[in-house]
Structure 1
Amino acid sequence: MSSDDRRQQGLQKMNEVYGWEMPDIQGDPYFDLTVEHLFGTIWTRPGLSMRDKRLLTLAAVTAVGNSDLAEIQINAALHNGEITAEELKEVSVFLTHYLGFPLGSKLDGAVSKVVRQRKKAAERGAGEDKKGNVNAAVKMHSGGSVDEQ
């Protein structure tokens, strides 16, 4: 597979993983590696379902205490229909017993926040407000800190 094909496959998978269209940031080596390797190679590997990969990613970002990234994953999982809000609540209960209350409660808070935001957006008829999530994902995949937003 050519580098261009791998990049297109990676961008396509990024869009699926996040549930929105990621901008193609040209010339940023960190973003290039993320698109072509993480999403073009790792996320496209067979063997695990998207739901499996999403749950593993949620566990990992919860374990390191990053509720911003958890919110991105939660929103995308709900958007893609991979997991329900009730199941996400159960994930937070389950992970709390392995990771401890502070980290588990951060995940539970992220689940509640995203569900609340999605409900408000649906009531407004506005669909999903993805601007903050898109900005966070771009920042994260271009080597910046989500906290710098």
Structure 2
Amino acid sequence: MNNDKRERGIARYHEVYNNQLPDPPAEGEDRFFDYMLGSLFGDLWSNETLSIRDRRLLLLGAITAQGEEMTFAIQAESAYRRGEMSIAELEEAVLFLTQYVGYPRASKLRLTLLGMIGKWKKELSAE
């Protein structure tokens, strides 16, 4: 992978996750991560056909369908911290997706979201 593509991928990775995730490993240390930085973040997330918020909504739907609580939490946290989605919008997204992925799967993600909302509200009241 060329260095420009990797640098673009790293910049978009930090932007998408609002600098909340650890720095990626150095080039060549983790081939999986190198590929992800180049193709996923350097190409797909960097393409301006869809906004980051649009991509995030698609991703939240896919993650909800798979019942991926940890990945859902990372995406919801990033969407909230970046100002892409409000608490009400995240709650509405889970409610809407429940009708398509089923109550058992979405209920776990709703509980994850409620825990995050409690944390965010504490942060706001502490300010």
Q: Same fold (TM over 0.5)?
A: yes
Structure 1 residue 17: deviation in Å? 1.0
Cα distance per residue 1:62-81 (max 9 Å; x no partner): 11111111010011001110
Quick one: percent identity of the two aligned structures? 35
Asked whether the 8 Å contact 1:85–1:111 carries over to 2, the reply is no
Which residue, out of 94, 98, 115, partners 1:113?
A: 115
1:58-97 matches, cutoff 5 A: 58-97=60-99
Q: Report the counterpart of residue 13 of structure 1 in structure 2.
A: 12
1:102 to 101, 104, 111: 104
- Asked if the contact 1:61/1:69 (under 8 Å) is kept, the reply is yes
TM-score, normalised to structure 2, is: 0.90
- Structure 1 counterpart of 2:88, which letter? E
Q: Is the 8 A contact 1:96 1:104 kept in 2?
A: yes
State the secondary structure of the residue aligned to 2:85.
coil
What is the aligned-residue RMSD (CA, Å)?
Answer: 1.5
Provide the C-alpha distance between the structure 1 equivalents of 2:37 and 2:93, rounded to a whole number of angstroms: 28
TM-score, normalising length: structure 1: 0.77
| Whole-Å separation in 2 of the counterparts to 1:17 and 1:28 | 20
Question: Which segment drifts farther, 17-26 or 59-68?
Answer: 17-26
User: Which runs of no fewer than 5 residues in structure 1 stay unpaired?
Assistant: 126-149
**1:23 and 2:42 matched:** no
How far apart are residue 124 of structure 1 and its match?
A: 4.1
Distance apart, 1:112 and its partner CA: 1.1
SS in 2 for 1:33: helix
1:54 is paired with a residue whose SS is helix
Whole-angstrom CA distance in 2 between matches of 1:110 and 1:51: 20
